[in-house]
Amino acid sequence: MKIGIIGAGNIGGNLTRRLTALGHEVSVANSRGPQTLTALAEETGAKPVSASEAAKGAQVVVVTVPLKAVPDLPTGFLDGAAEGVAVIDTGNYYPQRDGRIAAIEDGLTESRWTEQQIGHPVIKAFNGTYAQDILDRGRPQGTPDRQALPVAGDDPAAKQAVRDLIDELGFDTVDGGGLDDSWRQQPGTPVYGNRGDAEAITKGLAEASPERTAEFRA
C-alpha cells in the first residue's frame, strides 16, 4: 500500500519504521524539508519528500504534526492522493504548546477542528499511543491481552482501512464512534496513554467525560 506520512517526530518516525518493515511504500515529510530526512530514509527505505508531495498517490495519509502547525500545511496537499484516501489524524491539543484554540476550548473535538483546517475527513487514531509502543508492543492477531487502540471517524470505509492497518501493525482496535465522539480519546480521558486490551479500551471510552481537564485547557 502507498502511505504518506506528514510529520517525522516520534509517532511519524516510528510509523515510518514499522510500515516500511511491513512492505508498504512510504513517503515521509516534515516541516524542514526532505534533505533533513536522509538518515530516516536510509534506515527505512522510505522516500523523503516535501509536505506538498507526501500524499501523491497515497491510499493512507498520516498527519502527525503539532496542532498549531496544521493550518500551515500546504494548500491542496491531499489533491493528488488516491480516491477514497483515509487520512489519519494523530494530533492532540496541548494549549501550552499550541496556544489557545477557541473552537476547541468551546467544545469542538480536536480532530473535527483539524478536519476543518485541511478540508478533508479524518480518522482519529494513535493520538494516545506511546511512540515506542508502535515499535515494541505489536503482537499477532489473537494474542491474549493484545493492546488495543481506539479509532474514531465518520467514514466507515476509511475507518475500516485504518483499523486493518493497525491490526497489521500488531494491535487490536475499538470503534470510538464518529468524529464528534472523539473527545472520548482526547488527552485526559481514561484511554489516553492506556495500554489495555480491547475490553479495557471499551470500558475507558464509556467512562470518559466531555469536560476537558484543567491540565489540557488554556
Amino acid at 43: E
Q: What is the pTM of this model?
A: 0.97
> Would you state the pLDDT for residue 164?
98
> Would you state the pLDDT for residue 106?
96
Output the 3-class SS for the chain.
Answer: CEEEEECCCHHHHHHHHHHHHCCCEEEEECCCCHHHHHHHHHHHCCEECCCCCCCCCCCEEEECCCHHHHHHCCCCCCCCCCCCCEEEECCCCCHHHHCCCHHHHCCCCHHHHHHHHHCCCCEECCCCCCHHHHHHCCCCCCCCCCCEEEEECCCHHHHHHHHHHHHHHCCEEEECCCHHHHHHHCCCCCCCCCCCCHHHHHHHHHHCCCCCCHHHCC
> Would you state the pLDDT for residue 136?
97
- State how beta strands 123-124 and 2-6 pair: unpaired
> Would you state the pLDDT for residue 153?
98
Q: Which residues contact 83 (CB under 8 A, 6 or more apart)?
A: none
116 close to 91: Cβ distance less than 8 angstroms: no
> Would you state the pLDDT for residue 148?
98
> Would you state the pLDDT for residue 60?
98
Residue in the structure block whose three cell numbers are 500546504: 74
Closest among 6, 14, 41 to 169, alpha carbons compared = 14
> Would you state the pLDDT for residue 130?
98
> Would you state the pLDDT for residue 205?
98
- Write phi, then psi, for 172 (nearest 5 degrees): -75, 165
> Would you state the pLDDT for residue 178?
98
> Would you state the pLDDT for residue 135?
98
> Would you state the pLDDT for residue 32?
94
Residue in the structure block whose three cell numbers are 530516516: 40
- Mark residue 5 as left, alpha or beta (left: phi above 0; alpha: psi -120 to 50; beta: remaining): beta
Sign of the C-alpha dihedral, residues 71, 64, 89, 200?
negative
Residues of the chain below pLDDT 70? none
> Would you state the pLDDT for residue 17?
98
> Would you state the pLDDT for residue 18?
98
R_g of the chain, CA atoms, integer Å: 16
> Would you state the pLDDT for residue 64?
98
